[in-house]
Amino acid sequence: MKDHPILKAARGEKSDYVPIWIMRQAGRYSAKYREIRANAGSFMDLCRNPKLAAEVTLLPIHEIGVDAAILFSDIFVPVEKMGINIDFVSGKGPVLSPVVKTVDDVEALKVPEPEKDLPYVIETIQLIKKNLTDRPLIGFSGAPFTLASYILEGGSTKDYLAAKATMWNSPELWDKLMTKLSEVVTKYLISQIEAGVDLIQIFDSWMGVLSAEDYENHVFPYTEKIVNSIREKYPETPIIHFGVNSSHLLGINNRLNVDVIGLDWRTDISSTIEKIDKSIQGNLDPVALFADDRIIVEKVERVVMEGKKARGHIFNLGHGILPKTDPTKAKFLVETVHKIGKTV
């Protein structure tokens, strides 16, 4: 497993071909996933069911041939065990309650112990690893800022008003919440590594809404602490760090002791390589899978050629695969990356 192309690319080593996995690859574009999901109860019920979560995790391996599986779960799984209720409301997304507004609210939040409070996640990983012997399993967590934004806003937001106002106006509340979330994320990711995942991805999906100054002063230190804690205990486990629309933060994030920086589709690979010394992941526009095959081939060629100049390159979309994507297009993408990735 150590010599698998994804792990070699993460370490900056050359491999026989460019490897690919796809964010949200176990998702609604798959008819089999929709069938399992319809009979599983709520979305969170599916996340809590090790047998079904393991089955869903492995679907993209069989259906589209990706080079790695990513644990089927959700960034809210550990948040739920902190004492926050998560409801997924149609047309609105996640709704979190109670909304955190005071220091006392933060102090009331628990730090879950994964072995005791999240045993289904560990069991899911163990089930996957029994059936996945030829390619890596990726574990993941949301990063403190992304989780804090949901907790402070009570759900999705376009302006991040509560999160930013708290960050600026209530430094004690902000520090206590981010510190507690850092502890939660660190324990959660370490438990996944100990259960058997081969590499991890930290999703700070919404960090791009912050200026470089605010990110560096109010967010980066907490992510850095998480990464350093994991690196100290498991130095051989590759770490991927990903955020959307965050090219202005590349120089700062290059200081993280991670192996791979994930890029969204807006981020130019060539200029990125000049700013970082990490391997890269990405970065085809998810909507490109709705284009004609010849367009997909052209775009894959461009990404692969640019990625060849990086320390290492793991092909991916620049964000999650869209629910309306034709599965045959996803399979075509994987086959195209493998073909082109062998010839350049």
Q: Annotated catalytic sites, by residue?
A: 24, 28, 37, 74, 150
Q: CA–CA separation, 174 vs 165, rounded Å?
A: 10
Q: Which of 23, 77, 20, 30 is nearest to 56 (CA)?
A: 30
Q: Three-class SS of residue 75?
A: coil
Q: CA–CA separation, 244 vs 267, rounded Å?
A: 9
Peptide bond into 98 cis (omega under 30): yes
In the DSSP assignment, the letter for residue 249 is G
Q: What angle do CA 201, 249, 315 make, to 5 degrees?
A: 45
Mark out the alpha helices in the chain (DSSP H runs).
5-11, 31-38, 43-47, 50-63, 77-80, 103-108, 114-117, 119-131, 144-153, 161-169, 171-195, 212-218, 220-233, 250-253, 269-273, 293-307, 327-343
